[in-house]
Amino acid sequence: MARGLADMFDGARLRQARAAAEDGRGISAEALARRIDATKSQVLAYENGLVRPDPRRIRDLAQALGIEPLQLSDASRAQAWTLADLRRAHGLRAADVSRALSLSLRTYRRLENEGIVPAHKFNLMSELAELFAITAGEVEEHLRRAPLLSQRLDEVREPLSCLLSFYLQPKNLDKPDPGDDEIIALAGLYRRSPLTIARIVGHEIARLRGMRRRKAKFDAAANYGATAEEQAKGQAAAQAEGRKIREVIDALPQNLDTFFRCMLPLDAWRAIALFHALRPLGGWLSTGQLNATSEQLAMIPAQLLERRTTGKDAAQAEYRISEQGAKHCAAYRPWYDACYPAVQAFVQVNERALAGHMQQSDLHDLLAQSEAVLFSFDGLLCRLFGRNLQTVSERLLSGAQSLQLVLPPQTPTDPVGMLRALVRHGTPAQINQLDRLLSQFEMEAARHVAPLPGVSQLLRALADSPRRLAVVTDHASDAVNVFLERLPTDIPPGRIAVFGRPGDPELMKPNPHGLSQATAALKAPHARVLLMGESIADALAAQTAGIPFVGVAATTRQARMLRDAGASRTVASVRTITAVVREQQAGA
């Protein structure tokens, strides 16, 4: 096809449009020719498929017939169009589009031919989508069919393969350097800085090292498993992991190319990453809450954010991340974290500030009136089973089956939840045996588990105060006592009372039994007792018992769940509570 001619043009559609013109009365080929400054024979040649018009002529034909240029093309074939095909179908020349997008003609030609989006035009996909009235995803599909794209990606594979071969050698702990020849070559092919390429490829190398470690573990099981079954499972797992490794490597050139066409600059990513972190809260945020300007948010591609105006002032807008924005973050966050390492800390700080946690002054007042403080255990003070959670659950499930307990259709995966769910499906003797089995697992874990960050300092600070303290938990009391004895503090034995899993599992949280028992034993009025916890069961038990509750929510999702359960007071970390306690002690 000659350059600039519209191969997707459909002469039959032109004939139909001419017949339907003038409110169905139609116009002659000669009349149409006069309107576009052409000859009758040219019009008939277009209609009969003998000649393909150029984009300007398509636009003239559409204008003369009172239709859109796109109506003169065979849209059923649009899924096979390149971006150049789409442009011509809209009756636009490359110069028209480059001018509309404020690009040089050379840069735009490179976009059409090679699929390369210049780094400074990070919003280009949105601009193209708006220009052609399609989605950014559809723009990406057209660009993937750029005529020289596959050739460029083939050129990418050689330096990329060299990098992976070198840095994935056994015992090589190095990372790619922006000065590596292969990194510089890739930077030229992708039109991105060597530093950006080095950081992303470095992330992928770390990921592939992890996958190779897993494969080596499976290979060991395949070769040295104790049974034939174990060896067969190891071999199957090693083969599956090997396939995954090959798939990651094979897809990397195209995935990098797709990412670079929509990669956001630092400021835009910082804002969208914060929106994504706050998404579980479900609310809209103003520019004031985000400490950002409307101009900064305007940098973010339109399809990634939702915007609404509030009240009578149209300038007062609120924003939240769109579904497409959430998908963008989920897909590319690891690469953004590699390119912009400081953003993660920024998001964490601002996430806590915007998550709706209680003011320190309110926490100060709540602690000041508390005569007794209760703690939940697993999730607040430690992660009792940690990485062994699944193993413990499987062992407990096996124990339940050996006791011939009837398992409910949806058995929880956590051990305590499993025990709670099985209560109604077994005899008291069966449940007692299962309880003892779980207690053994809990004791084993308590001998090794470490306190969560900030927990030792919190317990030390509260132990130095006159408040009565207790742990109220659905775990075994002996396990909690073992944990407390191992704390790296000099808290006197017995300073923190323990109220563990009740003899009747039906009385576990959210039943308030344990809280009421602890409150009575500590001889404190309910209104002057404070429960610190992190679960919905903690929040519901406190509400039923009439005890003030402070939820510790490390993430916005957790804060949202606690608020949905009726917990209006949350903090981001136990360190927040420790700071207030220390402040009170200093001022006493």
What CATH number does the domain containing 580 carry? 3.40.50.1000
- CA dist 285 and 421 (Å) reads 40
530 membership: H or E segment, kind and range: strand 529-533
- CA dist 397 and 413 (Å) reads 9
Q: Look at residue 272 in the predicted model and tell me its pLDDT.
A: 92
Residues 204-209 have a mean pLDDT of: 97
Same domain, 515 and 372: yes
Q: Look at residue 478 in the predicted model and tell me its pLDDT.
A: 96
Boundary of a domain, candidates 232, 262, 292:
262
Q: Is the pLDDT of residue 295 over 90?
A: no
Assign 3-class secondary structure to 261-318.
Answer: HHCCCHHHHHHHHHHHHCHHHCCCEEHHHHCCCHHHHHCCCHHHEEEEECCCCCCCEE
Q: Is the pLDDT of residue 63 over 60?
A: yes
Instruction: Note whether residue 537 is domain-resident.
Output: yes
Q: What's the chain's average pLDDT?
A: 91
pLDDT bracket for residue 420 (50, 70, 90):
confident
Same domain, 220 and 179: yes
pLDDT in tens, 458-496: 999 999 999 999 999 999 999 999 999 999 888 998 999
pLDDT in tens, 337-367: 999 999 988 887 777 777 778 888 889 999 9
Contact in structure between 162 and 183 (CB atoms under 8 Å)? no
3-class SS at 552? strand
Q: Look at residue 190 in the predicted model and tell me its pLDDT.
A: 97
- CA dist 470 and 281 (Å) reads 32
Residues 52-60 have a mean pLDDT of: 93
Which of these, 131, 122, 58, lies nearest to 100 by C-alpha position? 131
Same domain, 162 and 272: no
pLDDT bracket for residue 154 (50, 70, 90):
very high
Q: Look at residue 310 in the predicted model and tell me its pLDDT.
A: 67
Q: Is the pLDDT of residue 283 over 70?
A: no
4 membership: H or E segment, kind and range: none
Same domain, 461 and 479: yes
Regarding pTM above 0.85, the answer is no
Q: Is the pLDDT of residue 280 over 80?
A: no
Q: In which region does residue 171 sit, left (phi positive, over 0), alpha (psi from -120 to 50) or beta (all else)?
A: left
Residues 139-168 have a mean pLDDT of: 96
Residues 89-105 have a mean pLDDT of: 95
Domain that holds residue 49: 11-143
3-class SS at 468? strand
Residues 324-331 have a mean pLDDT of: 94
Instruction: Note whether residue 392 is domain-resident.
Output: no
pLDDT in tens, 532-549: 999 999 999 999 999 999
Kindly list the strands in the beta sheet with 305-309, ordered across the sheet, starting from the edge strand earlier in the chain: 285-286, 317-321, 305-309
Amino acid at 358: M
Kindly list the strands in the beta sheet with 570-571, ordered across the sheet, starting from the edge strand earlier in the chain: 496-499, 468-472, 372-375, 529-533, 549-552, 570-571
pLDDT bracket for residue 6 (50, 70, 90):
low
Q: Look at residue 286 in the predicted model and tell me its pLDDT.
A: 80
Q: Is the pLDDT of residue 184 over 50?
A: yes
Amino acid at 65: L
- Please tell me which residue, 423 or 552, carries the higher pLDDT value: 552
What's phi and psi for 174, nearest 5 deg?
-70, 160
Residues 187-212 have a mean pLDDT of: 97
- CA dist 488 and 481 (Å) reads 14
Same domain, 369 and 512: yes
Q: Look at residue 314 in the predicted model and tell me its pLDDT.
A: 53
- CA dist 219 and 238 (Å) reads 6
37 to 54, 60, 392: CA distances (angstroms): 14, 9, 82
Boundary of a domain, candidates 98, 117, 143:
143
Same domain, 298 and 254: no
Boundary of a domain, candidates 219, 235, 262:
262
CA torsion, points 22, 23, 29, 35, in degrees to nearest 10?
30
pLDDT in tens, 563-578: 889 998 999 899 999 9
Same domain, 120 and 233: no
Q: Look at residue 500 in the predicted model and tell me its pLDDT.
A: 96
Q: Look at residue 560 in the predicted model and tell me its pLDDT.
A: 83
pLDDT bracket for residue 587 (50, 70, 90):
confident
DSSP tag of 9: B
Contact in structure between 532 and 373 (CB atoms under 8 Å)? yes
Angle of helix 428-446 relative to helix 389-402, nearest 10 degrees, comes to 150
Q: Look at residue 2 in the predicted model and tell me its pLDDT.
A: 46
- CA dist 12 and 447 (Å) reads 81
552: buried, middle or exposed (CB in 10 Å: 19+, 13-18, 0-12)?
buried
Q: Look at residue 1 in the predicted model and tell me its pLDDT.
A: 42
Instruction: Note whether residue 5 is domain-resident.
Output: no
Residues 65-86 have a mean pLDDT of: 91
Q: How many domains does the chain have?
A: 4
